[in-house]
């Protein structure tokens, strides 16, 4: 990643070239930072990263497909996909942290289901599931 002063020097040269509508590099730099905070917010981007990471694995996609059919206990997911308990827990945890599935405990059993069926419906419409 380039240093702040190097970026500022480049931006200043860009402003001075006349291509840019701004006359002051520092004014334009603040505008670009404001724009980044507004449309490319770090916290939102991190949430989106978790969401897309959750969808980037074949096992997790298969788990979502199973949970679309019905709520399942973790042991059912393990059996259906021939997963070990730690592997199933890992994948279910990623899906849960991404907000794609939710869990409920019933005695010693943990059941998982789709957190937002409307989201799943929209992903089907987009052709991503």
* Strand partners of residue 40: none
pLDDT digits (tens, 9 = 90+) for 87-115: 999 999 999 999 999 999 999 999 999 99
Tokens of 80: 């259906």
pLDDT of res. 7: 63
Between 24 and 1, name the one with better pLDDT: 24
- Residue reference for tokens 């978790």: 50
Q: Which domains does the chain have, with CATH numbers?
A: 55-126 (1.10.10.10)
Smallest Cα–Cα separation from 60: which of 89, 18, 22?
Answer: 89
pLDDT digits (tens, 9 = 90+) for 3-42: 565 667 788 888 788 787 767 767 788 888 889 888 888 8
- Length of the chain measured in residues: 129
The single-letter DSSP state of residue 40 is S
* Rg of the chain in Å (alpha carbons): 23
pLDDT digits (tens, 9 = 90+) for 45-82: 888 898 899 989 999 999 999 999 999 999 999 999 99
């Amino acid at each position: 990643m380039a240093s702040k002063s190097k970026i500022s020097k480049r931006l200043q040269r860009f402003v001075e070239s006349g291509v840019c509508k701004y006359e002051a590099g520092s004014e334009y730099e603040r505008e670009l930072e404001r724009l980044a905070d507004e449309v490319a917010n770090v916290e939102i981007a991190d949430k989106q990263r978790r969401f897309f990471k959750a969808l980037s694995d074949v096992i997790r996609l298969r788990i979502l497909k199973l949970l679309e059919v019905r709520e399942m206990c973790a042991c059912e997911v393990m059996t259906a996909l021939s997963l070990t308990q730690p592997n199933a827990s890992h994948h279910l945890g990623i899906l849960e942290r991404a907000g794609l599935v939710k869990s409920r405990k019933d005695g010693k059993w943990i059941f998982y289901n789709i957190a937002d069926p409307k989201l799943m419906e929209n992903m089907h419409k987009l052709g991503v599931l």
